[in-house]
Amino acid sequence: MNRPVVGVSANAHLIEESYRVQGSGERTIEAVAAVADAVPMILPGLPGMASTGELVDLLDGLVLTGARPNVHPEFYGEAETEAHGPFDRGRDGVTLPLLRAMIEAGKPVFGICRGIQEMNVAFGGTLHPEIRDLPGRMNHRMPKGEKDHGVIFAKRHLVRFREGGAFHRLLGATETVTNSLHGQAVWTAGRRVLVEGHAEDGTVEAIAIEGAQAFALGVQWHAEYDAAADPVSRVLFEAFGADARKARAARRGRRGAA
């Protein structure tokens, strides 16, 4: 197999209130396969199934997906409240150490929605449980009760990127318009976390990990939606895929030299 293998984080679900499953949205899987040109591998949020080291050896890249459950506040030093929930402790146990290890191994990581929050927390940052409650902030959540994906994922607000930063260099632009489907958001940036973009109301929308040897970017919007056609999403997934191919080539070269 020549294409890189990319881990796609899964989330816990309860079917018919009795059957536990691990799953990931098809749009992210399709974006990894069709736009990043990689083989997607769904990673269950079950920490005992594989060690972090085993996963780093197996994967050439990691995509951290959006999800309804939030990162548990104990990972950024806060007490659990109803506003912080719901949670997926199993996913936390897999993704937080794995994303750090992947970055340290020089392999690409792309955080989407919950994923940008995981990246920030993994490097010591904090989250705010409900951004819309802050003075002057807009409601970043999807329209309540809406089922039409064209409405849910409609572009709703402007994001301005740091001039000369990673997104500006990659996209060749200092702003874009994005969708918005989140309640929590980055509050204080973690060590090595560079804030690369803000919404019009000041909410953090894009980050990069300082000193990363490969693609290590996070976005608060859902970049997987219509990734093949959306020009910004396409550039991001293609750049991620290019670094995943480099990681795979380097891994194969080490094995060949052994």
List the end-to-end C-alpha distance of the chain, in Å, as a whole number: 19
Q: What is the largest CA-CA distance in the chain?
A: 58
Question: What token pair was written down for 183?
Answer: 């309640």
Collapsed DSSP state (helix, strand, coil) of residue 187: coil
Choosing from 72, 128, 182, 222, which is the catalytic residue? 222
Could you confirm whether 113 is annotated as catalytic?
A: yes
Neighbours of 163 (CB within 10 A): 7
Beta bridge partners of 22: 12
- Find the catalytic residue in 118, 196, 205, 224: 224
Instruction: Give the C-alpha separation, 123 to 231, whole Å.
Output: 29
DSSP 2: -
Of residues 97, 101, 114, the one with CA closest to residue 214? 101
Q: Which residues pair with 20 in a beta bridge?
A: 14
Which one, of 12, 13, 42, lies nearest residue 26 by Cα?
Answer: 42
Task: Please say if 224 is a catalytic residue.
Answer: yes
Tally of residues, the chain:
258
Within 10 angstroms of residue 247's Cβ, the number of other Cβ atoms is 24
Instruction: List the catalytic residue out of 72, 113, 118, 128.
Output: 113
Residue 82 appears among annotated catalytic residues:
no
Non-local (6+) Cβ contacts of 49 within 8 A are none
Q: Annotated catalytic sites, by residue? A: 113, 222, 224
